[in-house]
Amino acid sequence: MPAIRQHLLIEGRVQGVGFRYAAFQRATALGLSGWVRNLPGGRVEALIEGEEASVNAMIAWCQKGPAFAQVRLVRVNPAPDSPPSEGFSIR
């Protein structure tokens, strides 16, 4: 199955509570490539790439959010035209 890529913007109380690290762990467990970083205003941005089922599982995890994150909204857009990532990183 070909790899797909999604660009996520996660809004809610997600900064300063370990969300980036939790997302890193989840994405790594799902075998995804990409990155996750904090943005101003309590938002998190991520670029994820991998098999469609794994990408969809990551999006569902972000939409539900870990209990401590209180994720309110996940916007899924086509990914920016950046080169594919190797592994998954926190920025």
Give 3-state DSSP helix, strand, coil % of the chain, rounded to 5. Answer: 25, 40, 35
Respond yes or no: is residue 56 known to be catalytic.
no
Respond yes or no: is residue 20 known to be catalytic.
yes
> Catalytic: which of 13, 26, 38, 56?
38
> How many Å apart are CA 12 and CA 4, to the nearest integer?
25
- Collapsing DSSP to helix, strand or coil, 35 comes out as strand
Annotated catalytic residues are 20, 38
